[in-house]
Chains A and B, each alone.
Chain A
Amino acid sequence: MVFEKKSHLVLFLIGLLFSQTNLLAQNRFTISGIIKSKKTGETIIGASLRVLETNTGATSNEYGFYSLSLVKGIYSIEVTSIGKMSDTLKIDVTNNISQNIFLSDESKELATVVVRSTRNIGRSIAGTQTGVEKLSVSDIKNIPVLLGEKDVLKTIQLLPGIKSAGDGNAGFFVRGGTSDQNQILLDEANVYNASHLLGFFSTFNSDAIKDITVYKGGMPAQYGGRLSSVLDIKMNDGNNQNYNVSGGVGLISAKLNVEGPIQKGVSSFLVTGRRTYVDMFLKGSKDTSIKNSRLYFYDLNMKLNYELGKRDKLYLSGYFGRDILGFGKQFSIGWGNGTGTLRWNHIFNGRLFANTSLIYSNYDYKIQITSGANDFNIFSQIRDWNLKQDYQYSINSKNNFRFGWSSTYHVVRPGEITGSETSSVTTQKQQERYSLESGLYASNTYKANAKLSVTYGARLTAFNVLGKGDFYNIDNDGKVLDTTSYASGKVVKTYLNVEPRIAIGYQFNNTSSVKGSFVRNVQNMHLISNSTSSNPTDKWVSSSNLIKPEISDQYSIGYYKNLYNNSVELTVESYYKQMQNITDYRDGADVFTNNAIETALLYGKGRAYGVEMMLKKKTGKFTGWASYTLSKTERFINGINKNQWYNARQDRTHDIALVGMYQLNNKWNLSANWIFYTGDAITFPNGKYSVGGQTVYYYTNRNGYRMPSYHRLDLGATVQLKNKKKYSSELAFSLYNAYGRENAYTITFRDNKDDPTKTEALRTALFRWIPSISFNFKIK
């Protein structure tokens, strides 16, 4: 029955594809090439091309490649991109043309005084894509943040539908999902733990980043593997024209970025590093245990690229980051990600572009304890090898076809403990888990006419749970009934899923459109965490014979309107999402020491719905946005809350962000943001009693209460010190939580110290009036 459905879908897709191929017969030519920055040679992602005569267009892909299909004639092609001067090319089309396009940087003076040419910049009202947010690096640069550490993950939290995981936290929740349901990709490599220092900073050094796209819904078919969102981060390629050194020194970290050509115009390199030095302050202490403590993290991004010829380009990029936290000689914990991506772009012809990627991703942590009789260390790791290919085929001016495949081999080492002979702790190893996650997709965007576009496609995913290992059957109480051992390479279980990806866009006129989409997402890697903040020891588990793939179905609809000569854009989107096979902890489960993780889990479903609004001013001296989200997120887990629906922890009714940036003059840039949200849903006690001589609490409803409302104002200012041809420098100031609101980080309960017959609630607030200053420079 299922198979029948699938084969129908495939036939349907093939049918649709071929019904359009007769259009190919026309005598059309292709203009294609790469769009680059004139100054740095960096490829430009998402640049818009518009043929003025025909009012058709195209957008450059993630490698800067574009393709236009035109009949013989002379055309003016306007090319625009954020932060770049637009250019209009005159092209006489008599045959297929391969032409790279170079765009100049928008000069700062011009950008601030003159209203920019904004025709296609920013969120496109055309096309079919819903639920997407893009941020420019300059937005990230100017928005004030905690301790002056510019942060991608904190800036996206100011966008509608994306919620902060807590005060000062880099973790985020998208449209009712949990943080592990966000797919965070750095140059296509999956980053399993995107945070440093227990979530207060993200692993992304904003100096190394070129482009950030967040998909909250309507994910294109080339993405798969997570339920809630895709955060696609592309690193800079490296300047292939000139050498550049830039850097900065802030309150808690220093950064350095070096880039330049290896062979001018052909190849380039980029190295970006960041290290925090909070622990340097500890060195000043007289106390030796403080002096010998370590508390820092670092990030290293590297990239090489090489043009093999007109048709081929190679990219090699890598990221390595680690946190180290240690107290004296007794205790240390280190954790971090390492990723590597080798990519090969190949242009078969002006219409067919392909990219092949070999991707490595690793996350591990290691705890070492050296304290008398308690000598031991713990190691845990998740490691992926991924090979994939993506093809883009511009069939004709009406059809744009994408297809490809991907296969990832996951190895999870849940925990390996090594204790010395005399230690309290024995050496033991939890079984490694192996799995293969594969995807095959095809998707076509069909422009029916100037107003109507449709994207239809599907992603077929297969997940093979592989041996070697023991797999369990468990009863309703979480007790192991029997165990089956599988040999190495034996398939334990295979999950097949079809994920339809459908979107429709209808453009009313030049300034407004409406779009709708349906998308199914499937997730096979699950983070088992009972904690609200991110812990490096949170456990990733793959789907098993008992843990089923999580599935979400999301319907969304949006209205998009450009106002005031395209300088202001209004977006209203609404969504409804259903989730299946969601997991949660069983009460009293100890996941660390448990070989059969399934005995600690309960399963259920979720639903989320909401409305998101954003008004964004993109040009002029004053820029910024106002965003508002009204939403509801609930869970139903068998065995929790007496089997009734309850608010998810991240359920927040209202979420408001106001962001403003003002260019005062050529030297000063001011910024401010204000955030308000309803407190998270939380479980508070409805009674108390005493056992073992201690007051303990009695709970009746899961997440039946709310934390107090959260609000905060941040201020920022940047002043240009020097701006010479060869050297520029600036100072950035910020003040986090400017009016010192005591936002509740936790609310805990305890006996009153003076009168133990009374109990009291204690609110802990973290960050108030946190000022910062940082110095940034650039040598050109």
Chain B
Amino acid sequence: MIRNIFRLGALLMLIITIASCEKVIKLDLQAANRQVVIEGTLANTQTPVVRISMSKTFEESNDFVGLTGATVAIKVNNGNTYGLTPTAAGVYETNAFTGMPDSSYSLTITVNGQTFTSTSIMPKSVTLDTITINEVGFGNNKNKTVYPSYKDPFGKGNSYRLINYINGKQEKFIYVQNDELTDGRTVTRPLINRDNNIKSGDLVTTQLLCIDQPVYTYWFSLSESSTGENQSATPANPVSNIEGGALGYFSAYAVSQKTIVVP
């Protein structure tokens, strides 16, 4: 958080002191061996979905190309194991259960002779109390910004991920918060949106996802050093909670959401 505050300051200062100039350039980037990418989620309100694909070269299209032929299973609290079946290319689902807070979920995937495993524990649900829109920014560059508010339970160790949807479309920024500095407080920290694409009359939905510590570390390290934008930290792959060498994450989360019309 501190670094983000500072970065914002630095960025604004640079804009006013010097006119920097930007240009799209061509780089000769080597193509790495393709890696399996796993995005596995389940929530207290949602049945499990696991999306499996392969990483791409820099030049290729961003379209999702699913990986077929995988065996996917989730074991609940070291008890029953449920198989997930393909519903589209690379998308594996089951309707057998939805998530419960304080439960542990173990994912096992076998694909192309490789096995990947991960365990995620769904934290207790924290309610998103309100969302408000405030203008944040400098000079004429005032951005309408979402301020979510929730009451963090006492005791350190709670982690959150927040997602904004603008008129039903997911915003791309990654917001993670933990209670390292805000333990037990009513937390109202802004979700800075650099695209400035929230307008009056828009329908904004914010989801508060309570996530476990390894998933927090995943999103935090991803936003710090893997998004390609942030050059102040050394670029690196995020710290994944998946064993076996795949990219991506497996997260069991408890979700709470609010919707407002932007005034």
Contact = CB atoms under 8 A, between A and B. Distances in A.
Partners in one complex: yes
Interface of A: 197-198, 278, 282, 285, 287, 289-290, 293, 295, 325, 327, 331, 333, 367, 369, 372-374, 378, 417, 419, 422-426, 428, 530-533, 535-537, 585, 587-588, 590, 592-593, 649, 683-700, 702, 705, 742, 745-751, 756-768, 770
B87 interface: no
Contact of A694 (B1, B172, B180): B172
Contacts of B27: 684, 705, 747, 761
A697 B227 contact: yes
A762 B27 CA distance: 10
Nearest to A325: B9
A734 to B, nearest CB: 16
B187 interface: yes
A700 B33 CA distance: 9
A374 B188 contact: yes
B172 A763 contact: no
B39 A757 contact: no
A696 B185 contact: no
B31 A686 contact: yes
Contacts of A702: 234, 236
A714 B12 CA distance: 27
B22 A762 contact: yes
A426 B233 contact: no
Interface string B237-263: 111000000011100000000000000
A748 B228 contact: yes
A587 B32 contact: no
B2 interface: yes
29 contacts: A197-B13, A333-B9, A372-B134, A374-B189, A378-B2, A425-B182, A428-B181, A535-B6, A588-B218, A593-B178, A593-B181, A685-B58, A686-B57, A688-B55, A688-B56, A691-B39, A691-B247, A691-B248, A692-B39, A695-B228, A697-B228, A698-B35, A698-B247, A699-B236, A702-B236, A742-B23, A745-B20, A749-B228, A764-B21
A424 B187 contact: yes
A693 B226 contact: no
B181 A373 contact: no
Contacts of A751: 62
Contact of A587 (B9, B21, B188, B237): B237
A690 B57 contact: no
Contacts of B30: 686
Contacts of A419: 181, 185
A695 B228 CA distance: 9
B78 interface: no
A669 B183 CA distance: 63
Contacts of B64: 690
Contacts, number: 236
Interface string B57-100: 11011111000000000000000000000000000000000000
B220 interface: yes
Contacts of B188: 372-374, 424
B222 A696 contact: yes
Indicate the member of A537, A698, A765 with the most B CB atoms within 10 Å: A698
B47 interface: no
B235 interface: yes
A291 to B, nearest CB: 10
A679 B23 CA distance: 18
B237 A758 contact: no
Given A373-B186, A588-B239, A748 B58 contact: no
B32 A700 contact: yes
B139 interface: yes
Contacts of A696: 222, 226-228, 238
Given A588-B224, A684-B27, A748-B228, A692 B217 contact: no
Contacts of A378: 2
A278 B17 contact: yes
Nearest to A290: B139
Contacts of B230: 748
Interface in B128-166: 134, 137-140, 147, 149, 163
Nearest to B214: A588
List the 5 shortest-distance A-B pairs measured between CB atoms, nearest first: A749-B228, A588-B221, A686-B32, A588-B239, A373-B188
A327 B12 contact: yes
A285 B141 CA distance: 14
A696 B173 CA distance: 11
A538 to B, nearest CB: 10
Contacts of B17: 278, 295
B106 interface: no
Contacts of A687: 31-32, 34-35, 55-58
Nearest to A423: B185
Nearest to B247: A689
Nearest to A692: B174
B156 to A, nearest CB: 10
Nearest to A278: B17
B198 interface: no
A759 B190 CA distance: 28
Contacts of A747: 25, 27, 231
Given A691-B222, A763-B22, A685 B239 contact: no
A530 B234 contact: yes
Contacts of B184: 426
A536 B5 CA distance: 12
Contacts of B239: 587-588
A287 B140 contact: yes
Contact of A691 (B35, B182, B228, B249): B249
A426 B178 CA distance: 13
A168 B107 CA distance: 51
Contacts of B13: 197-198, 295, 325
A755 to B, nearest CB: 9
B234 A683 contact: yes
A742 B62 contact: no
A290 B138 contact: yes
A759 B229 CA distance: 12
Contacts of A688: 55-58, 60, 62
Contacts of B163: 692
Given A295-B17, A683-B235, 13 more contacts: A278-B17, A367-B5, A367-B6, A531-B233, A533-B232, A587-B236, A593-B178, A685-B58, A685-B228, A687-B57, A689-B248, A698-B55, A698-B247
B191 interface: no
Contacts of B60: 688
B37 interface: yes
B58 A693 contact: no
A374 B149 CA distance: 11
B229 A749 contact: yes
Contacts of A700: 32
Contacts of A761: 24-27
Nearest to A586: B239
A592 B139 contact: no
Contacts of B103: none
Contacts of A532: 231-232
A705 B27 CA distance: 10
Given A417-B181, A537-B6, A757 B62 contact: yes
B60 to A, nearest CB: 8
B9 A327 contact: yes
A197 B10 CA distance: 9
A423 B183 CA distance: 11
B235 A287 contact: no
A693 B77 CA distance: 29
Contacts of B227: 694, 696-697
B108 interface: no
